[in-house]
Each structure stands twice: as C-alpha cells, then as structure tokens.
Amino acid sequence: MPRYHYNVYDGVDLLDRRGVELPDLTYARREAIRYAGALLEDGAQKDNLSNEWRMEVVNENGLLLFRLDFLVTSSPATEHHKT
C-alpha cells in the first residue's frame, strides 16, 4: 500500500515523517479532510489558529499530490472587532 505524509504549515512547520499507509488517493483525500478538520478544531479551541493554514499531502518520495488551504479573511464590516 502507498504511504502518504500529511505536512501542516501554519507559521510552524509540522512535518509528518512517519506517514500512513492507505489503499489509494481517494482514501488519502478523505484522511486529509478528517485530519485537517481535527487540527483546525483544536487550533480554534486554543485560540492559536493563524490566518493562513495549509496541509500538503505527499507520497513516500516527497512528490506533492494535493494540498488543502485554509485562509481567514475578515470582512470590512468587522474591521473594528480586530483582536
């Protein structure tokens, strides 16, 4: 089975050196969405979620297969509520 690595970049690089074996790219995408959701929820609860966040999924050779991007953009209507 192929091994997929889930690297996270949010101001601090969290490189997945171990990876996980999954049957195919479809499973790898599902796992990326699940894992990203868990990390984003954890970061939001700790109030340390940066404005830009991404996860890059690479194969065992380091080839980038896809990435998930998360960007927080404030509306002009909320400018006076900056924290």
Whether 44 shows a pLDDT value over 60: the answer reads: no
Average of per-residue pLDDT across 20-34? 97
Q: How far apart, in Å, are the Cα atoms of 76 and each of 53, 70, 81?
A: 21, 19, 10
CA–CA distance, 10 with 70 (Å, rounded to integer): 10
* pLDDT at site 82: 56
Residue 27, Cβ density class (10 Å: 0-12 exposed, 13-18 middle, ≥19 buried): middle
Whether 18 shows a pLDDT value over 60: the answer reads: yes
Q: Find the DSSP H helices in the chain.
A: 25-45
Whether 38 shows a pLDDT value over 60: the answer reads: yes
What is the Cα gyration radius of the chain? 15
